[in-house]
Amino acid sequence: MADAVAVTSQIRKRKSVGQPLPQIDSAEKVKGLTQYLQDLSVPGMLYGAIVRSAIPHGLIREIDTSRAERLSGVRAVITARDCPGVLFGPQEPQDWEILCRNKVRYIGDEVAAVAAISPDVAKEAAALVRVEYQELPAVYDPFEALKPGAPVLWEQHPDNVAYRFHIERGDLEAGFARADDVFEHDFYTGRFYHGQMEPMGCIVQYHADGGYTIWTPTHLPFRSRMTYSKGLGVSMDKIRIVVPPFGGSFGMKYELNINCIAALLSKKSRRPVKIFFEREEDIGAGHPRMGLHFHYRLGVTRDGRFVAKEARVVGTGGARTFWTPPVLSTACYRIDSLYHFQNVRTEGFLVYTNQSPATCFRGFGNAEALTALETFIDEIGERTGIDPVELRRMNGVKAGDVSLHGWRIASCGLRECLDRAESVSGFRNRKPPPKIPPRRGVVRGIGLAAGHHISGNRIIINEYDGASAQVRLGFDGQVAVIVGEPDIGQGMNTVFAQIAAEVLDVDPASVRSLPIDTLVSPHGVGTLGSRGTTVAGRAVQLAAEDARTKLVSLAAELLGVPPQEIRLQSGSAVVASGGGSLSMAELGREYATRYGGAFLIGHGHFTPPTEIPDATKYGNLSTSYVFGTHVAEVEVDTETGATRVVRYWALHDSGTIINPSTATGQVHGGVAQGIASALLEEVLVKDGRVTNPNFLDYRIPGFQDIPEMYVEFVETKDPYGPFGAKSIGESSLNPTAAAVCNAIYNAVGVRVHQTPVTPERLWKLLETARTEARKKE
Amino acid sequence: MRIRIDLNGREVEADTVPHRSLASFLRNELGLTGTKLSCEVGECGSCTVLLDGRPVTSCLVPVAQADGRSVQTIEGLGINTQMHPLQEAFVGQNAVQCGFCIPGMIMAAKALLDRKPDASSEDVRLILSGNLCRCTGYQKIVEAVVIAAREVQRNG
Ligand code: FES
Ligand code: FES
């Protein structure tokens, strides 16, 4: 276990790409100098607080803001009357209001807001706003909400279905007719909170031209302007977004209504306004990963071929729509690019319920689908007597395959991951599970799960896909990378620096990545859909190549040799045959001298081989595809049901690894979150109220909960990403929960159908199994 | 009230309200924002500083309690561009992702190494268990602290 990082590719003659370099901005971070949003203030800044609904569902009868307005130190109070009144939002259906007009739909719904000279005064004022409601019956369970006669959240959606997904390919009935066995499986993945260490927040300043500057750590600074511009009723170019360093997000900080609330407070008070959540608000009124119910029917032939799959997926979306529609779609059909199911039909329902709106989380629905599917495959293996790893090999996609829905898999290391996982973990020699769960003692078990993900996903902005970048040479010879995709804490800037450094042969530690500001940065679709390294990284590579061409021709001219004679080497341009060289600083200054003080800038843009899916949802959705296999070993206390992961192996195909150290860190973090989702964490909601909205009751894993892990990269050659690199951030998490659940089965012989597998839940399953066994005796 | 503390080796005197938390005093009155606030209920360790050399969650400590005592924060670690071995090791091992938990993590680790310079990885996992990190899965943090321990020991 000790030597946990191995890159199985042969050593290449590369200087930067493939090196385990430190994150370029971590020196600032370890000194406490990094200024996160929490640390930022703007002169004259006020503090905002939100008045939230105290009831899960009801009509607003009256809002009395007079006492709040009279409180000393209050500078603005706003209600729906101050809002433009359009429905808007990041996805269809658009159902955001900024502040509720007629109706509240969850405990925490935003009814009014205040801005004051301190956070304490703002809080006090918010508490003075009186809201009278006429309560309505509420509904929390998505299956209840789907029944006729259930309380209706939005009259435009009388069936409470916010979004419906349907896909069909092949001939399902014929597929099932060919099957020798048909298996069924249900799984529920619980509501899970991002737990990013820095809560959500923003600072917004209103400008005389009617526009706004928003300081907020967002994955999609450019795209989110579309949402805010509609909500605020100003053109997109009047919204400037500046992205400070992230204190974590994992999907939480995509697009948030608080930006609009702070904007209107700033407009009314004519002062910049900061809204920054306390943890309780971040959990209680925040936007977790939604709960998802899966029902699968799978037809399998005697020799283990999958021939038909029918699925029904139901998501508990909450009261409004954030990024849940594409999460639901993903949960419905992305797995069809991991295995060939041949004939499929999937129905998905995103259901309105009286809870805070859910949004996306790392893994984007695919982690949840894989939890359901990979536990199912484990069970099918058991029931057919075919080794479950063999089932995966037999049905899994290969390089060159086109999936049922037209997704083109250019590179695929699934089999290599499965093989290596089996051999490094000892999974092949596992003991069979006990027939009856033991009555006492701690037992061990081992479980395996495969997974995959996209790498550079399309349909974030409909019209186009891709990324653009600039690589700029300063007068001191320093290289700067300028992109529109923010580093979300995972080390993106370092990866960009290594890519540019490789192309230009400069020291990667000297390369900077400029902060993102939509006023000046090149356009970027965003850091989501596992597109950072693959798509933006490729644009950086192309921009660096353009800069290299310019540098070489300048150097050739200055040194009086043809361009073919010039090599970029260790920070200089040298004549290959000897006799002259110029440093980057000399070249930067010379360029400026010739061109009116201009910087030498290389431009690059990358248009990936993705397609807009047709009406049947056919079309290649991602630049590349990544694969992995995880093995978990657990210890289960059979008397209490308490489960701990004690050993862990993670094998990944993420193409060429640009930085093995940060990539390994991504795996460690993804697995830790996966273990949390499998065993520990769930946002508990009773009668619409979150009952564990703090880190005492919502326990995220600590040092003692996460084992040491073995991480290995099985490098494949991908034609699209920079130097053949693919993504790792999301795929690192995807197989984890299934591997843990399968290990629990191997330990105690009981199948779980719900995460998190809390001690109480597992203990009940163990007791049931033991009682049944006793009855049979 | 007027309080006086030895802050990172320098005498600091200031007027403040006694119920204010030490974290808020450091951040809002002294402008030392290296100390982070995450849970504000003593459960995450992001706000860890050393009070008379012992780690405390400064979100829960009333500033009055620091009166007349020494307080060490992340800003006091390392001299100018030179980093403390813990900071070096956290950078070198990539034990830092978003970095939000890191100041508190490093201060807690410093208290550990001050007390137990030969800390093993088991010690780190046990004694730092009050510090939460959502990004790293902890493994690289453990490695970094153990490497720093070796470095501290080597240099006496
Ligand atoms: S902020 Fe003090 S312990 Fe979490
Ligand atoms: S590095 Fe992000 S919380 Fe620890």
Q: How many other CB atoms are found less than 10 A from the CB of residue A424? A: 15
What mean pLDDT is predicted for residues A414-420?
Answer: 98
Torsion of CA A649, A655, A659, A665, to 10 degrees: -30
β strands within A87-228, DSSP E: 103-104, 110-116, 130-135, 161-169, 181-189, 201-206, 212-215
Q: What pLDDT does A418 receive?
A: 98
* The Cα angle at residue A503 between residues A500 and A505, in degrees rounded to 5: 95
Assign residue A544 the CATH number of its domain.
3.30.365.10
Which residues share a beta bridge with A261?
none
Full residue range of the structural domain in which residue A700 is found: 365-458+614-776
Tokens of A374: 């990979």
Q: Residue A247: which of B73, B86, B98 has the nearest Cβ?
A: B98
Residue type, A541: Q
Is the Cβ of A211 closer than 8 Å to some Cβ of chain B? Answer: no
Residue A664: half-sphere exposure toward Cβ, Cα within 13 Å = 27
Question: B105 alpha carbon to ligand 2 midpoint, in Å?
Answer: 9
Q: Residue B98: which of A30, A246, A706 has the nearest Cβ?
A: A246
Q: Length of chain B, please?
A: 156
Residue A696 has pLDDT above 60, yes or no: yes
**Smallest CA–CA separation between A22 and chain B, in Å?**
5
CA dihedral for B105, B110, B116, B119, sign (positive or negative): positive
Scanning A143-202 for CB atoms below 8 A from B yields 194-199
Model confidence pLDDT, tens digit, residues A87-138? 999 999 999 999 999 999 999 999 999 999 999 999 999 999 999 999 999 9
pLDDT category, A249, cuts 50, 70, 90? very high
Chain A residues with CB under 8 Å of B119 CB are none
Kindly determine whether residue B99 and residue A34, on different chains, have CB atoms separated by under 8 Å.
yes
Ligand 1 and B48: CB distance under 6 A: no
Q: Are residues A618 and A722 in the same domain?
A: yes
Kindly determine whether residue B102 and residue A668, on different chains, have CB atoms separated by under 8 Å.
no
pLDDT category, A8, cuts 50, 70, 90? very low
Q: Would A493 be classed as within a structural domain?
A: yes
Q: Are residues A411 and A559 in the same domain?
A: no
Name which of A704, A51, A295 is nearest B142 in CA terms: A704
Q: Are residues A487 and A510 in the same domain?
A: yes
What mean pLDDT is predicted for residues A658-678?
Answer: 98
Q: Are A64 and A130 in contact (CB under 8 A)?
A: yes
Distance CA(A232)–CA(A51), nearest Å, equals 19
What strands, in cross-sheet order, belong to the sheet with A292-300?
A161-169, A344-352, A306-318, A292-300, A181-189, A754-755
Q: Report percent pLDDT > 70 for chain A.
A: 98
Name which of A295, A296, A291, A316 is nearest A306 in CA terms: A296
Q: Nearest 5°: phi and psi at A249?
A: -155, -60
Q: How many other CB atoms are found less than 10 A from the CB of residue A284? A: 23
Helix A388-395 vs helix A414-425: crossing angle, to nearest 10 = 160
Q: Would A296 be classed as within a structural domain?
A: no
Q: Are residues A470 and A539 in the same domain?
A: yes
Q: Would A118 be classed as within a structural domain?
A: no
Q: Nearest 5°: phi and psi at B108?
A: -65, -40
Q: Is A730 a catalytic residue?
A: yes
Residue A204 has pLDDT above 70, yes or no: yes
A140-178: buried (b, 16+ CB within 10 Å) or exposed (e) per residue? bebeebbeeebbbbbeeeeebbbbebebebbebeebbeb
Distance CA(A506)–CA(A514), nearest Å, equals 17
Name which of A147, A364, A83 is nearest A251 in CA terms: A364
Residue A172 has pLDDT above 80, yes or no: yes
pLDDT category, A463, cuts 50, 70, 90? confident
Distance CA(B124)–CA(B109), nearest Å, equals 8
Name which of A94, A534, A529, A136 is nearest A322 in CA terms: A94
Question: B37 alpha carbon to ligand 1 midpoint, in Å?
Answer: 6
DSSP label at residue A101: S
Residue A286: half-sphere exposure toward Cβ, Cα within 13 Å = 33
Model confidence pLDDT, tens digit, residues A500-536? 999 999 999 999 999 999 999 999 999 999 999 999 9
Distance linking the first and last C-alpha atoms of chain A: 43
Chain B residues with CB under 8 Å of A33 CB are 34
Question: A197 alpha carbon to ligand 1 midpoint, in Å?
Answer: 10
Q: Are residues A704 and A768 in the same domain?
A: yes
Distance CA(A541)–CA(A546), nearest Å, equals 9
Burial of residue A39 (CB within 10 Å: 0-12, 13-18, 19+) is buried
Distance CA(A19)–CA(A494), nearest Å, equals 11
Ligand 1 and B43: CB distance under 6 A: yes
Question: B88 alpha carbon to ligand 1 midpoint, in Å?
Answer: 24
Q: Are A551 and A587 in contact (CB under 8 A)?
A: yes
Is the Cβ of A704 closer than 8 Å to some Cβ of chain B? Answer: yes
pLDDT category, A366, cuts 50, 70, 90? very high
What mean pLDDT is predicted for residues A333-343?
Answer: 98
Name which of A444, A458, A403, A393 is nearest A629 in CA terms: A393
Chain A residues with CB under 8 Å of B94 CB are 20, 22-23, 26, 491, 661-662, 664-665
- Lowest mean pLDDT segment, chosen from A241-245, A504-508, A608-612, B138-142: A608-612
Q: What pLDDT does A7 receive?
A: 44
When the pLDDT of each residue in chain A is averaged and rounded to a whole number, the result is 96
What mean pLDDT is predicted for residues A424-444?
Answer: 96
Is the Cβ of A665 closer than 8 Å to some Cβ of chain B? Answer: yes
Q: Are residues A631 and A705 in the same domain?
A: yes
Q: Residue A38: which of B37, B41, B92 has the nearest Cβ?
A: B37
Ligand 1 and B57: CB distance under 6 A: yes
Q: Are residues A548 and A650 in the same domain?
A: no
Where is the domain boundary, A580, A606, A632? A606
Q: Would A134 be classed as within a structural domain?
A: no
**Smallest CA–CA separation between A671 and chain B, in Å?**
7
Split into its structural domains, chain A has a count of: 2
Q: Would A142 be classed as within a structural domain?
A: no
Chain B residues with CB under 8 Å of A196 CB are 98, 100, 134
- Lowest mean pLDDT segment, chosen from A4-13, A367-376, A428-437, A638-647: A4-13
Q: Are A215 and A200 in contact (CB under 8 A)?
A: no
Q: What pLDDT does A13 receive?
A: 81
Q: Are residues A637 and A591 in the same domain?
A: no
Kindly determine whether residue A696 and residue B43, on different chains, have CB atoms separated by under 8 Å.
yes
**Smallest CA–CA separation between B39 and chain A, in Å?**
5
Chain B residues with CB under 8 Å of A278 CB are 40
Q: Would A183 be classed as within a structural domain?
A: no
Distance CA(A727)–CA(A732), nearest Å, equals 9
For chain B, which domains are there?
2-76 (3.10.20.30), 85-154 (1.10.150.120)
> Could you say which ligand is closest to the alpha carbon of residue B44?
1
pLDDT category, A1, cuts 50, 70, 90? very low
Q: What pLDDT does A241 receive?
A: 98
Q: What pLDDT does A459 receive?
A: 75
Instruction: For B134, name the nearest residue in chain A, comparing CA atoms only.
Output: A196
Torsion of CA A719, A723, A728, A731, to 10 degrees: 10
Model confidence pLDDT, tens digit, residues A549-574? 999 999 999 999 999 999 999 999 99
Q: Are residues A620 and A767 in the same domain?
A: yes
Kindly determine whether residue A669 and residue B136, on different chains, have CB atoms separated by under 8 Å.
yes
Ligand 1 and B98: CB distance under 6 A: no
Q: What pLDDT does A451 receive?
A: 98
Residue type, B93: Q
ipTM over 0.95? The verdict is yes
Count CB pairs under 8 A between chains A and B: 173
What is the pairing mode between strands A273-276 and A46-52? parallel
Distance CA(A748)–CA(A509), nearest Å, equals 50
Distance CA(B74)–CA(B103), nearest Å, equals 6
Ligand 1 and B59: CB distance under 6 A: yes
Residue A637 has pLDDT above 50, yes or no: yes
Burial of residue A403 (CB within 10 Å: 0-12, 13-18, 19+) is buried
Tally of helices (H runs) and strands (E runs) in chain A: 18, 31
Q: Report percent pLDDT > 90 for chain A.
A: 96
Ligand 1 and B100: CB distance under 6 A: no
Where is the domain boundary, A548, A578, A606? A606
pLDDT category, B156, cuts 50, 70, 90? low
Q: Which residues contact A276 (CB under 8 A, 6 or more apart)?
A: A37, A38, A47, A119, A199, A200, A201, A202
Q: Are A527 and A488 in contact (CB under 8 A)?
A: yes
What mean pLDDT is predicted for residues A574-598?
Answer: 94
- Lowest mean pLDDT segment, chosen from A5-9, A173-177, A508-512, A514-518: A5-9
Q: For ligand 2, atom 2, which residue shows the shortest CA distance?
A: B98
Q: Are residues A754 and A683 in the same domain?
A: yes
Instruction: For B85, name the nearest residue in chain A, comparing CA atoms only.
Output: A30
Catalytic residue (choose from A374, A730, A767, A777): A730
Q: Are B136 and B100 in contact (CB under 8 A)?
A: no
Phi-psi region of B17 (alpha: psi -120 to 50; beta: other; left: phi over 0): beta
Where is the domain boundary, A567, A589, A606? A606
Question: B99 alpha carbon to ligand 2 midpoint, in Å?
Answer: 5
Q: Would A499 be classed as within a structural domain?
A: yes
Q: How many other CB atoms are found less than 10 A from the CB of residue B97? A: 29
Residue A776 has pLDDT above 90, yes or no: no
Q: Which residues contact A245 (CB under 8 A, 6 or more apart)?
A: A25, A34, A35, A36, A217, A487, A489, B98, B99
Is the Cβ of A29 closer than 8 Å to some Cβ of chain B? Answer: yes
Distance CA(A105)–CA(A117), nearest Å, equals 30
Q: What pLDDT does A458 receive?
A: 85
**Smallest CA–CA separation between B142 and chain A, in Å?**
9
**DSSP 3-state assignment of A191?**
coil
Mutation for B interface: A117, A193, A197, A487, most B CBs within 10 A = A197
Q: Are residues A666 and A574 in the same domain?
A: no
Which residues share a beta bridge with B13?
B4
Tokens of A231: 């909500």
Question: A247 alpha carbon to ligand 2 midpoint, in Å?
Answer: 7
**DSSP 3-state assignment of A317?**
strand
Q: Nearest 5°: phi and psi at A755?
A: -115, 150
Tokens of B3: 């309080």
Name which of B101, A700, A767 is nearest A775 in CA terms: A767
pLDDT category, A579, cuts 50, 70, 90? confident
Q: Are residues A445 and A470 in the same domain?
A: no
